[in-house]
Amino acid sequence: MNYLKKIFSPSFFILSIFLFIYTFYKSEIYWDGNKKDYYFTYYLVSSIFICLSIFTFFINHKIKEYLIIIVISTVITLYFLESYLIFKKQISKEQLSKKDQIKEQIIKDQIYENITGKKFDKRTRVEILNDLKKKNSKIQVTVSPYNYLNTNKGIFPLSGISNSKTIFCNENGYYSIYQSDRYGFNNPDGEWDANKIEYLIVGDSFAHGACVNRPDDIGSVLRNLSKKSVLNLAYAGNGPLIELATIREYMDSNVKKVLWIYFEDNDLSGLHNEMSNKILMKYYNDKNFTQNLRLKQKEIDKLSLNSIQIGKREKRRKERQERNTLVIKLLNFIKITNLRVLIYPPPQLTPRLKEILKLSKELADDNNSKLYFIYLPGYTRYKTNYDNKGYNLIKDIVKELDIPFVDIPKEVFEKEKNPLNLFPFKMNGHYTAEGYKKVSETIYKFTRD
């Protein structure tokens, strides 16, 4: 105890200073000052700790002894609670990821074979890429913009590889594959040459056309319904900030309507990661900022090709990822991350979303285009007891900004006898071809002249 009393005050002081410096780093450097309100509490706590640590240099030994006991007991309790939260989360994850995945895949295999007479394609994207490259050396896979969130490449791509057969995903038994356009999006290339664009689409994987082929994706169905040109600028993994950037980079004066397609399960949470990227935040903070990406497609293609991992490189990447995951888990444990999030959740991002939508509407208005907000529901809404708070909050924001709100849950899914029929094999994933068709028909109904 005498040794602990001797090192307690200087150790407490050093740790408090470190906490203050780390808070400054996260707030002002990592987040570039964009989350000062959130980190104010950590500034306050670290400052109190510094004052307390200085005070402990002057208290008597008996009080210091009691204080050491209290601190040690508190630390042990905190890490015990953190361990419990990690264990609880891990057990739930293992139960879902192993048993349910095996069971679901067996059901998918049986249903798909009964309907089509074919075997469900179980190859990974790496495997199918390697197989198809034997016939077409130029075939590629999708490379999502979110891959660049934690990199510093000089530019931030908002699309994939241009003019290439592109492998997307498999939820329906087959891999969806499309021919990318001159800028790496999922469009017939000739759409860029149209005199007038009826619809310009931004969004994530649902808008991108996940796991279905043309003409079953939203862009293709709208193209067929309207008999007019449609530019689909969506990409898997996109969030609101990337979508704002995409509109600014690629929208021309000939665009009549902009469709902002919002997916309720992860679009808002994706914004948290997007805000850590300094290039993306320039779109938010500077209305005139642009990367002039149309002139940099060769550079984008090169970055995308370098990011595709195949063969042994993919294996090494996974091994590194597993090692990094262990390091990240250890750091999160030391920082009692789960407990902190439980006690002090991250700030609500809806004010940021509102500002991004406002900026997007201004872009559309200045371009004499009309912005529509399309709200897409997820599988969880119809499989479990769904909390409507997020849905109502987003709806209120959109209406406050005077942006037309196309309510897909109400207009499509609630009219279905079993909404799960619009998901592959009634399981978690994107929509079926029929689901995309009904969504697209509803969008057309509410946006046509």
Average model confidence (pLDDT) across the chain: 88
- Distance between CA 62 and CA 428 in Å, rounded? 60
- Distance between CA 263 and CA 271 in Å, rounded? 12
- Distance between CA 58 and CA 71 in Å, rounded? 17
Average pLDDT value for residue range 78-93: 77
| Residue 33 amino acid letter | G
- Distance between CA 347 and CA 386 in Å, rounded? 22
Give the tens place of pLDDT for each residue, 35-85.
777 788 889 999 999 999 999 898 888 888 888 889 889 989 988 988 888
Give the number of domains in the chain.
Answer: 1
Give the tens place of pLDDT for each residue, 112-165.
888 888 889 888 888 899 899 999 888 999 999 998 998 888 899 999 999 999
3-class SS of residue 60: coil
- Return the half-sphere exposure (C-beta side, CA atoms, 13 A cut-off) of residue 382: 22
- Contact criterion met (CB below 8 Å) for 361 and 371: yes
The position carrying tokens 């063969």 is: 311
Residue 114 inside a domain? The answer is no
99 falls in which pLDDT band (50, 70, 90)? low
Residue 400 inside a domain? The answer is yes
- Return the half-sphere exposure (C-beta side, CA atoms, 13 A cut-off) of residue 132: 18
- Please give the residue that has the higher pLDDT: either 351 or 318: 351
3-class SS of residue 407: strand
Residue 243 inside a domain? The answer is yes
- Contact criterion met (CB below 8 Å) for 208 and 143: no
Contacts of 325 (CB under 8 A, 6+ apart): none
Question: Of 59, 35, 39, which Cα lies nearest the Cα of 47?
Answer: 39
Q: Terminal CA-to-CA distance of the chain, rounded, Å? A: 80
Q: What is the pLDDT of residue 44?
A: 92
Q: What is the pLDDT of residue 101?
A: 64
Going from the C-alpha of 363 to that of each of 198, 255, 258, the distances in angstroms are 16, 11, 10
Average pLDDT value for residue range 376-400: 88
312 falls in which pLDDT band (50, 70, 90)? very low
Average pLDDT value for residue range 367-391: 89
* Beta-strand relationship, 197-202 and 255-263: parallel
- Distance between CA 155 and CA 145 in Å, rounded? 11
Residue 403 inside a domain? The answer is yes
Residue 25 inside a domain? The answer is no
Contacts of 128 (CB under 8 A, 6+ apart): 121, 167, 175
The position carrying tokens 């407990």 is: 339
Q: What is the pLDDT of residue 274?
A: 92
Residue 323 inside a domain? The answer is no
Which phi and psi (to 5°) does residue 390 adopt?
-65, -40
Domain ranges, residue 233: 125-308+349-447
Going from the C-alpha of 53 to that of each of 8, 27, 64, 340, 434, the distances in angstroms are 9, 23, 11, 22, 64
| Residue 277 amino acid letter | N
In terms of Cβ atoms closer than 10 Å to its own Cβ (0-12, 13-18, 19+), residue 134 is: exposed
Q: What is the pLDDT of residue 310?
A: 47
Contacts of 122 (CB under 8 A, 6+ apart): 105
What percent of the chain lies above the pLDDT cut of 70? 92
Over 90: is that where the pLDDT of 369 sits? yes
- Distance between CA 285 and CA 271 in Å, rounded? 15
Question: Is the full-model pTM beyond 0.75?
Answer: yes
Residue 47 inside a domain? The answer is no
Contacts of 382 (CB under 8 A, 6+ apart): 413, 419, 420
Q: What is the pLDDT of residue 6?
A: 82
348 DSSP 8-state letter: P
Read off the CATH number of the domain in which 213 is found.
3.40.50.1110
Residue 112 inside a domain? The answer is no
Average pLDDT value for residue range 285-301: 96
